[in-house]
Amino acid sequence: MIKNKKSKSLIDTVLKLQDMGLNHGATGNCSCRDGDTYLITPSGIETKNLSEDKVIRMDFAGNIIDSIGNLKPSSEWRFHQDILSQRKEVGAVIHTHSIYASTFSLFGNELPPFHYMIAVAGGASVRCAPYAMFGTQELSDNIIDALVNRKACLIANHGLIAVGENLMEAFHIAEEIEHLCHLYIEAKKIGEPNLLNKKQMSDVIKRFQTYSQWTKD
C-alpha cells in the first residue's frame, strides 16, 4: 500500500475511534475516497495492529487495487462502496459498534427529535436500517435507504454508520450520535422525553446548513 495523507488520516481515525471507546478489538471499519478509488480498513485485524501499509485500495467495481500479502478488505466493503458510489458529496464512511448506538439499534427504532443535535445527521431523526446479514448486498441496500438525505443511520441489531465530506466530519457525527443514543437511553429511564416539533427541527436543520462545524482534513 502506497502511504499518503489519506491513508494516514484513515489509520489515525481508526485509532481514535478505539481510544474514544467507539470501537473495540477488530470491530467496525472505515473508508475514505481517494481520487477515483477508495481506501478501506482490512478484515479481521485488531485495531492496535493496524498501520498504513495494511490499508487496502479498491476501485468502484469491487476490485482490490493495492493490498499487501493476503489481506482482504473489511467484510462490509459493499456498503462502503455503495455509499461512496451513490453519494458523490461523501468522502468518508465510518461504521462503529459503539455501546449506546448498538444498544439502541437492538430495538429497530429511529432516534426521534428529542434533542436539537439530532439535526447533525441531516434530518429530524436518525433512521434505523432493517437487519440483514453483515457483508451482504441486502444490508447495503437497507443502509442506502436509511441514509437518504442523512449523514448517519443505525443498523438494526448491529451498530452505527456516519458519513461526511471527510473523515473528521464523519468521526464527529459518529461521536455525536453515540452521545445522543446515550442521552435517550438515560432519559427513557425517567419517562418519555419531550420531542421537538417539525418547525423547531426544520429551523435547526436550516441553521446547521450555514454553520460549519468541522475543519477539513
Active site residues: 76
User: Is residue 79 within 8 Å of 140, Cβ to Cβ?
Assistant: yes
Instruction: Answer yes or no: are the C-beta atoms of 95 and 17 closer than 8 Å.
Output: no
**Cα–Cα dist 189/58, whole Å:** 45
- Based on the number of CB atoms within 10 Å of its own CB, is 168 exposed (0-12), middle (13-18) or buried (19 or more)? buried
Measured between alpha carbons, how far is 92 from 80 in angstroms, rounded to an integer? Answer: 9
Quote the CA–CA distance of 189 and 157 in Å, as a whole number.
21
Dist. CA 152–CA 147, nearest whole Å: 6
Element (H, E) at 29: strand 29-34
